Amino acid sequence: MSPHIVGVVDIGKSNAKFAVVDLESRGEIAVRKMPNTVLRDGPYPHYDIPALWDFLCGSIVDLNREHPLDALSVTTHGASAALIDAEGELTLPALDYEFTGPDELAAEYDARRPDFSESFTPRLPAGLNLGAQLFWQARRFPQAFARTRWILPYPQYWSFRLSGVAASEITSLGCHTDLWNFETDLYASLVLKQGWLGKMPQVRPASDVLGLALPGLAAKLGLRSHVPVHCGIHDSNASLLPHLLERDPPFSVVSTGTWVIVCTPGGDLSRLDPERDCLANLDAFGRVVPSARFMGGREFSQLCGEEPIAPREAAIARVLEEPIVLLPSVTEGSGPFPHRKAHWNRPAHTIDKETGFVGVSFYLAMMTAECLSLTGAEGDVVVEGPFTANRLYLRMLSAATTRRVVAMTGSATGTSIGAALLARAAGAGTSPKAPHQIFAGSPEMALYAGRWREIVAQS
């Protein structure tokens, strides 16, 4: 019998959640959330694995009572791994990828990492290249690293906790890690030369059933017998999966959250620029997807806070007419303009809250448009996540790209839905189309987009 109700472990950089997804309606019918806290004790900043596990177990117990689960799946952010010993215990804490410790060995690592033509991975700061994390951990903590039996990509760590089966998976290995060779479709030269291959478990498809939920755990959580645990998937690829099941390339998906990640199935690999945070991802079917990104959600929160604003038409008109421009980059070190420092083209004291909200919304749209251009985007631009509530962003994005912008308005897409779809081989064929709205820009917005690009080019 095909699974109907799927429980999804969904761990993002800022928040973790457990979602119950109804595959018939393709919607989240119950959700629990908690902040994904970074602990500052121990040898380096790291994720609070015990707290996350307690939260997940408690959520499963509570939600499974009302919605008995047919299957479990996992999706998490990338740039993270768990190192475990033969008994399944962590040999080192799960390192926070924003920790700059790996930069201590940057020169040594750079001499050993694969070329972009092999890994399609740009060189990123801190721990954003998973290979750099492992390289640093191996040298700073050699005894613990030697005790490590398995290096598990982060989604597969949680699948392991649920099933007891160690596995790796292609979307997690192929997301700016330096660990995968896109030419040979095998582990990269870095893995072989550093002697890590023996610590890498079998690579399994994201939809594979690793096993059943461990009997003792299933009893503790109140799960029915024989609940399968699927291998799991990297979060941006989870967001992409529902669209791959419904659309034919070329098109682009803009997944908004802490990161704004642009994925362009059928895009142009030759346009990717490793100096501008471009990369190739591998989708759930192992196909190469040109991608680019910037930390747009984090930037929005820093500049505008969490409370929504409805700016008046006068504020919008002022930003368009003057124009008022926020130049990149708010978060330095990544994105399409990694070496620039953000500033307004007008004195800060002249920019009030409303005007600032409009300018930031337009900035985020223009940064997204730059990412789309770098991936060789054509066709519709599908936007999902929190930015779908920002009409100014959506309209400016359409104006800047001269393409149709499709905003997903329900919960029928996104990381939890994509991860849940791993439990149904038939995919989207039996599910309803996701609700959406179409957005287009205005001539005034198109003029602003041109002026934004001119000002950025001159700065």
pLDDT tens per residue across span 42-54: 999 999 999 999 9
Parse the chain into domains and list their residue ranges. Answer: 5-231, 237-458
How far the first Cα of the chain sits from its last, in Å, is 60
CA separation for the pair 395, 365 (Å, rounded): 8
Question: DSSP letters along 104-135, please?
Answer: GGHHHHHTTSPPHHHH-----STTSSHHHHHH
State yes or no: pLDDT of 419 exceeds 70.
yes
Topology alike, domains 5-231 and 237-458: yes
- Helix (H) / strand (E) containing 437: strand 436-439
State yes or no: pLDDT of 428 exceeds 60.
no
**What is the CATH architecture assignment of 237-458?**
2-Layer Sandwich (3.30)
pLDDT digits (tens, 9 = 90+) for 192-250: 999 999 999 999 999 999 999 999 999 999 999 899 999 999 998 998 998 898 888 89
Cβ contact 68:213 at 8 Å: no
**pLDDT for position 429:** 45
State yes or no: pLDDT of 139 exceeds 80.
yes
Q: Helix, strand, coil: what percent of the chain each, to 5?
A: 40, 20, 40
**pLDDT for position 426:** 39
Q: Residue 340 to residues 55, 106, 219, 370, 454: CA-CA distances in angstroms?
A: 39, 21, 54, 15, 15
Cβ contact 225:71 at 8 Å: no
Cβ contact 109:178 at 8 Å: no
Answer yes or no: CATH 3.40.50.2000 is held by domain 5-231. Answer: no
What mean pLDDT do residues 351-356 have?
96
pLDDT band of residue 180 (cuts 50, 70, 90) is very high
**pLDDT for position 430:** 45
- Between 14 and 87, whose confidence is greater? 87
* pTM for this predicted structure: 0.84
**pLDDT for position 278:** 94
Cβ contact 190:112 at 8 Å: yes
